[in-house]
Amino acid sequence: MSDESLESPVGREQLDGDRELHETDAAEATHLRGEELAISYPTTENPVVECERVDIPAGEVTALVGPNGSGKSTLLKTMAKQLDADRGHVLLDGAEVRDLGTKELARRLGLLSQENEAPGSLTVEDLVYHGRYPHRGFFESVGEDDEQAVERALDLAGVDHLRDDEVGNLSGGQKQLAWIAMVLAQETDVLLLDEPTTYLDLHHQLRVMEVIRTLNRERDVTVAVVLHDIGQAARFADNLIAMKDGGLYDWGPPRKVVSEELLRDVFRVDADVDADHPTGPHISPHRALDDE
Ligand SMILES: Nc1ncnc2c1ncn2[C@@H]1O[C@H](COP(=O)(O)OP(=O)(O)OP(=O)(O)O)[C@@H](O)[C@H]1O
């Protein structure tokens, strides 16, 4: 990864210090919203996600948190038009996502899902080039823009040294980074990332968060990211959306959302929360509570 742009871990003091610049730039950024959504799968009798309104604010980083099965991936996939809602609207800067063509949407919105599969014999570089397909015409060959975007993405994701390796031979964490590079090469204004830190060691988890933060600060990229580590989410995100049983339990800045009550009601964990911690609410979990 490029060390010049990613020097220090991102803490809340730094985020607060950046806020003035960030707010000035936010007018340029892209806003994603869901309205009156009900989402089900062919095999589910009832919707697995229902929500009146969900906002991914322009130019901010929003973390979706919540227990397993609470609907985070379902919501994210629907916002990216990978899954059709039974009812409701997904709006990208006010335009219905369902009315946008696949390529047009892919130029504006990138999704890293949990279900990534590529032919094992594909090299990392080939995979990352796939991120450029929305930017090319049908018969157009790779141009200088594509090459530069791929180089940037390989560098940002820290997989430059793996470019000639076959994806099938990578470790779980290396594969995850290769997929992150692919979605970065798409160079979209909106990034939806479903558990991008899965399989990653602590160093790479922080690096990925820093890349996201850098893209957000420097290119005004609007980000929604599913994270399981609520402490990390609270340190890192501008907003949290806490999901429970297919609905939105709460949303807003981490200092508003993270509480002992949230930890108990949503995550079924007994924990102390230091709300005044300088890097954002600090969580000390003690024990798992019995299921309700
Ligand atoms: N392909 C599918 N077919 C049927 N039901 C599904 C499918 N995918 C998810 N579900 C159901 O939808 C609900 C929400 O699942 P989802 O994957 O969105 O949760 P999640 O919060 O992302 O979970 P996790 O943290 O475990 O990834 C769950 O009850 C799950 O069983």
Q: What is the pLDDT of residues 44-71, one digit of tens each?
A: 989 999 999 999 999 999 999 999 999 9
Is the confidence at residue 114, as pLDDT, over 90?
A: no
Residues 92 and 224: beta-carbon distance below 8 Å: no
Which residue has its alpha carbon closest to ligand 1 atom 18? Answer: 71
Beta strands in the chain (DSSP E): 32-39, 49-56, 61-65, 87-92, 95-96, 109-112, 190-194, 222-226, 239-244, 247-252, 269-274, 282-288
The bridge status of strand 190-194 relative to strand 87-92 is unpaired
**Atom number in ligand 1 closest to CA 114:** 27
Which residue has its alpha carbon closest to ligand 1 atom 6? Answer: 41
Residue 110 CA to its chain's centroid (Å):
9
ipTM of the complex: 0.99
Dihedral (CA of 164, 168, 174, 175) sign: positive
What's the longest Cα–Cα distance across the chain? 59
Is the confidence at residue 13, as pLDDT, over 70?
A: no
Neighbouring C-beta atoms of residue 82, cutoff 10 Å: 14
Top pLDDT among 253 and 136 is at: 253
Give tens-digit pLDDT for 27-41.
467 899 999 999 999
Pick from 90, 18, 109, 12: nearest CA to 51: 90
pTM (2 d.p.): 0.88
Q: Of 4-18, 127-141, 187-201, where does mean pLDDT reach its minimum?
A: 4-18
Mutate to test the pocket of ligand 1, among 64, 65, 74 (most ligand atoms within 8 A of CB): 74
Task: Measure the CA–CA gap between 220 and 96, rounded to whole angstroms.
Answer: 22
Mean pLDDT of 80-108: 95
| CATH T-level fold of 12-116+188-288 | Rossmann fold (3.40.50)
With H, G, I as helix, E, B as strand and everything else as coil, classify residue 264: helix
Which residue has its alpha carbon closest to ligand 1 atom 1? Answer: 41
Note the pLDDT of residue 141: 78
Mutate to test the pocket of ligand 1, among 43, 44, 64, 268 (most ligand atoms within 8 A of CB): 44
Note the pLDDT of residue 264: 96
Ranges of each domain in the chain: 12-116+188-288
Residue type, position 42, single letter: P
User: How does the average pLDDT of the chain come out, rounded?
Assistant: 88
With H, G, I as helix, E, B as strand and everything else as coil, classify residue 214: helix
